[in-house]
């Protein structure tokens, strides 16, 4: 749906109009490149967008529909590899959605280097022991060490990719077919709560480690899943 931008000084793309559309829901809203229209992408909520698989082979077949650096969310949405935040109330399916993304990573033709932090020592910790035991942690001390290791690998990547960027300044790790590094937190809020009980020096160090990935990770192929 396109709404003419009569007043270019006011952005109405953040107005919630879904309630007026009966069974239709606004998926994305943004201003057109020429700023002449507010664009609302709408889908029918009666149509089931969820993908279902009977086995891993079916999932792997679907992943071939996108490139090795893209993950499928549902039948209509795919996302490039960036820092990602999964939000929802307890029991809404956040961890299950995370399993889907991890399975897609394992099915890709490119090797995904997966780091797993589960401060609650729950189901993700069990999965981590199976797929990436050396890069999994549950207690605070080991998670911090894991973050340090993750950042060290990012610094190595930064040095490797520097010369290649001379040939294409705005390129990313994907253009040069580098392997992605993904640091997955389950229950990041729990990690933050425990972090606040530690001494300031440790808190500052952890926040620095997190910030460095946020600021530099996109081009280098390092990202968080929270």
Evaluate the CA torsion angle 130, 136, 138, 142 in order and state its sign: positive
Q: What is the pLDDT of residue 89?
A: 77
The Cα–Cα gap between 39 and 31 comes to 6
Q: Domain segments of the chain: what residues?
A: 2-44, 56-225
Nearest to 24 by CA among 38, 10, 43: 43
pLDDT band at 15 (very low <50, low <70, confident <90, very high): low
Sheet hosting strand 113-117, strand order edge to edge: 136-137, 113-117, 181-185, 222-225
How far apart (Å, rounded) are the C-alpha atoms in residues 105 and 114?
Answer: 9
Res. 11 pLDDT band, cuts 50 70 90? low
Q: What span, in angstroms and rounded, lies between the C-alpha atoms of 57 and 54?
A: 8
The structure's pTM equals 0.78
Q: pLDDT digits over 118-136, tens only?
A: 888 888 888 888 888 899 9
pLDDT of residue 18: 65
Mean pLDDT of 48-71: 86
**How high is the pLDDT of residue 199?**
93
- CATH level 3 topology of 56-225: Rossmann fold (3.40.50)
The per-residue pLDDT for range 66-109, each reduced to its tens digit, is 999 999 888 878 888 877 777 777 777 788 888 888 989 999 99
């Amino acid at each position: 749906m396109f709404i003419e931008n009569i007043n270019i000084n006011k952005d109405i793309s953040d107005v919630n109009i879904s309630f007026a559309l009966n069974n239709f829901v606004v998926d994305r809203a943004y201003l057109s490149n020429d700023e002449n229209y507010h664009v609302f992408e709408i889908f029918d909520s009666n149509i089931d967008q969820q993908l279902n698989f009977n086995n891993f082979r079916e999932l792997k077949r679907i992943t071939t529909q996108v490139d090795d650096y893209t993950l499928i969310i549902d039948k209509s949405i795919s996302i490039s590899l960036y820092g990602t935040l999964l939000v929802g109330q307890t029991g809404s399916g956040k961890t299950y959605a995370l399993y889907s993304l991890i399975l897609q990573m394992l099915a890709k033709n490119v090797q995904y280097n997966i780091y797993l932090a589960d401060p609650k020592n729950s189901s993700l910790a069990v999965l981590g022991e199976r797929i990436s035991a050396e890069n999994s942690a549950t207690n605070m001390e080991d998670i911090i060490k894991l973050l340090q290791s993750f950042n060290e690998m990012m610094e190595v990547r930064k040095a490797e990719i520097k010369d290649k960027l001379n040939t294409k300044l705005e390129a990313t790790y994907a253009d040069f077919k580098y392997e992605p590094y993904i640091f997955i937190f389950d229950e990041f809020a729990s990690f933050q709560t425990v972090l606040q009980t530690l001494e300031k020096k440790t808190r500052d160090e952890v926040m620095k480690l997190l910030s460095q990935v946020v600021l530099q990770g996109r081009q280098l192929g390092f990202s968080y899943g929270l």
